[in-house]
Amino acid sequence: MGIDIWGVLDAAATKPYGFMRLQPGPGMGGHCLPVDPFYLSWRAREFDMTTEFIELAGRSTSRCPTTA
């Protein structure tokens, strides 16, 4: 896809308010779930790319109990 994730994070960090820099890592969490990671996975398939780690993280997260 040609996306420089570190460049995206650096650009987002220039926002003057409401930005908390988080580093990519295993698992998923946050307000954007489950939409964003699965959108990325869906979009990657259009580029014939696999996103096994996103799918695995999603399956793992979906098995966790919720506190809500």
List residues with catalytic annotation: 32
- Comparing CA positions, the residue from 64, 38, 31 lying closest to residue 53 is 38
Per the listing, tokens 């919720």 go with 66
Residues 53/37/63/60 CA torsion (nearest 10 deg)? 10
